[in-house]
């Protein structure tokens, strides 16, 4: 059970709800704050003086006062007109993420919604009902408007939802789950859609995946160094301390531990070794992986701040003031989404270079061409490296930032936008690409280590090779990682690998 109490959520809680279907509950204290704020909003709604978002139109129509008897229609119209996304439906976990994070903001007591609205969104999450949200429609400013509007539309009993992989009319799914469709009251339409929850949810999921993938990248790099008869001396702690980046030190220490006790590496140590320096893709792995780790660490600080934020416009402050603001602008999240796409592309690029080196008989120090059992008859891992190369080329394109672009909207009222949703969508594709690139290197390095027999690899890398032999192709128990990567990651998490 994840309890939403109006305070921050942790990244771990988000993943638990979004991917593992942990149930959600809003605390009594949070609901009491929601009631208190709503009472104040209702008094403003009855006042003669217009209040933006409560008794006026929205955006470029903010100066238009809306009569009392037309305000329910205004809320319905807002959601129906804004649920105008297009393109393929996005993933269930993305929609669950934006639902959860919007619920957290609604429960903060700063938005002015009713308790019924908070409870309806809670029930929707817990019932496993996922509104159909389309790929395009958010500019990352004034919130993820079209995606969040699709969720609000489902709460109204309109539009389509997904239940257990089956697309259905929202009204039917709500009826079967015992959830009454909402008729939105003053302020609630804006409160449901004016947040950066979609891009933030995707950021949290990317961080979760990159923690795991960067650990696996250290493993694949160490296995490649070993298979290519490289040296681990360059990973020594005293050398790393000369450039004191924490991520670099962590990656170098892990690679050193992974290579400890390797008979393959011991076989070419000593005065007879003619190797002077390894290629950069081997020697500089801690520097690249470490820079990626440090980027992830910075982005985590931004994500954690956002998970404590209450984003809406206008907001209801604790002293009762209803104030317009610009906190819905997605720039803080958009930048970090773009930042992460750069090291993702670079880590993948370095892994592809190591893979290519193992397949080239002129650079692999005794390995057969393409690691083939019968070169010429058998192409070995040749086309697996082609796949890596195609993905790495795409990752370079995906690393081009989305957040430097802006297209004015809403009759020039919204004249600068963040494009954070677009940054999040391309980062998801980039993380998937990195997963595949590392899976290819992992399998290639394992094959190369087998071909070094009778010399034996380090105990740690030998365990990784053994785990790969037990891996069944196809979807594994962890649907978010390739089965090969999941096997290696399981060993790391269990403590069997450094």
Q: Angle, nearest 10°, between helix axes 382-398 and 331-359?
A: 160
52, 136, 280, 298: the active-site residue? 52
Interval 317-333: pLDDT, tens: 999 888 989 999 999 99
Q: Is the pLDDT of residue 191 over 70?
A: yes
Interval 134-154: pLDDT, tens: 999 999 988 899 999 999 999
The reported pLDDT for the residue numbered 493 is 87
298 is catalytic: no
d(CA 315, CA 108): 11
As a whole number, the mean pLDDT across the chain is 93
Task: Give the CA diameter of the chain.
Answer: 92
Helices (H), 22-91: 28-46, 71-82
Write the CA distances from 439 to 210, 356, 446, integer angstroms.
Answer: 14, 14, 11
pTM, two decimal places: 0.94
284 vs 407, residue with greater confidence = 284
**CB 293: neighbour CB atoms within 10 A?**
25
Interval 453-487: pLDDT, tens: 999 999 999 999 999 988 876 655 566 678 889 88
d(CA 476, CA 243): 39
Interval 243-288: pLDDT, tens: 999 999 999 999 999 999 999 999 988 776 666 689 999 999 999 9
The reported pLDDT for the residue numbered 355 is 98
Helices (H), 194-235: 197-227
Residue that has been written with the tokens 């690393």 in this structure: 399
- In this structure, what are the phi and psi dihedrals at residue 163, rounded to the nearest 5 degrees? -130, 115
């Amino acid at each position: 059970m994840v309890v939403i109490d109006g305070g921050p959520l942790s990244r771990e809680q988000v993943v638990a709800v979004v991917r593992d279907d942990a149930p959600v509950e809003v605390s009594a204290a949070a609901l009491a704050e929601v009631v208190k704020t709503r009472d104040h909003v209702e008094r403003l709604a009855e006042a003669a003086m217009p209040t933006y978002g409560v008794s006026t139109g929205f955006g470029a129509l903010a100066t238009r006062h809306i009569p009392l008897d037309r305000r329910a229609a205004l809320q319905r119209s807002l959601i129906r007109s804004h649920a105008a996304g297009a393109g393929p439906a996005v993933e269930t976990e993305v929609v669950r993420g934006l639902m959860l994070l919007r619920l957290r903001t609604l429960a903060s007591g700063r938005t002015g919604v009713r308790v019924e609205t908070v409870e309806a969104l809670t029930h929707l999450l817990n019932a496993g009902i996922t509104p159909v949200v389309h790929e395009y429609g958010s500019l990352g400013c004034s919130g993820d408007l079209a995606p969040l509007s699709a969720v609000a539309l489902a709460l109204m009993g309109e539009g389509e939802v997904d239940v257990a992989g089956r697309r259905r009319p929202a009204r039917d799914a709500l009826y079967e789950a015992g959830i009454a469709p909402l008729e939105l009251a003053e302020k609630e339409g804006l409160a449901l859609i004016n947040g950066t929850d979609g891009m933030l949810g995707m950021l949290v999921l990317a961080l979760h995946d990159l923690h795991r993938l960067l650990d696996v990248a250290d493993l694949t790099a160490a296995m490649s160094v070993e298979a290519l008869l490289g040296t681990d001396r360059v990973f020594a702690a005293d050398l790393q301390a000369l450039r004191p980046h924490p991520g670099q030190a962590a990656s170098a220490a892990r690679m050193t531990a992974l290579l400890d006790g390797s008979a393959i590496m011991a076989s070419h140590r000593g005065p007879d070794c003619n190797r002077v320096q390894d290629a950069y893709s081997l020697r500089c792995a801690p520097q690249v992986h470490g820079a990626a780790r440090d980027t992830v660490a910075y982005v985590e600080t931004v994500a954690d701040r956002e998970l404590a934020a209450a984003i809406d416009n206008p907001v209801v402050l604790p002293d009762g003031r209803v104030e317009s603001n610009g906190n819905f602008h997605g720039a803080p999240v958009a930048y970090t989404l773009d930042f992460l796409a750069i090291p993702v592309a670079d880590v993948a690029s370095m892994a592809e270079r190591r893979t290519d080196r193992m397949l080239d008989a002129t650079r692999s120090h005794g390995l057969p061409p393409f690691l083939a059992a019968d070169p010429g008859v058998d192409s070995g891992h040749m086309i697996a490296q082609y796949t890596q190369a195609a993905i790495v080329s795409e990752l370079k394109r995906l690393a081009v930032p989305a957040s430097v672009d802006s297209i004015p909207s809403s009759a020039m009222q919204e004249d600068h936008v963040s494009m954070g949703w677009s940054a999040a969508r391309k980062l998801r594709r980039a993380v998937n690409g990195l997963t595949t690139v590392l899976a290819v290197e992992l399998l290639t390095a394992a094959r190369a280590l087998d071909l070094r027999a009778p010399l034996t690899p380090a105990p740690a890398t030998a365990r990784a090779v053994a785990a790969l032999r037990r891996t069944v192709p196809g979807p594994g128990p962890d649907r978010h990682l390739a089965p090969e990567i999941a096997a290696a990651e399981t060993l790391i998490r269990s403590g069997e690998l450094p």
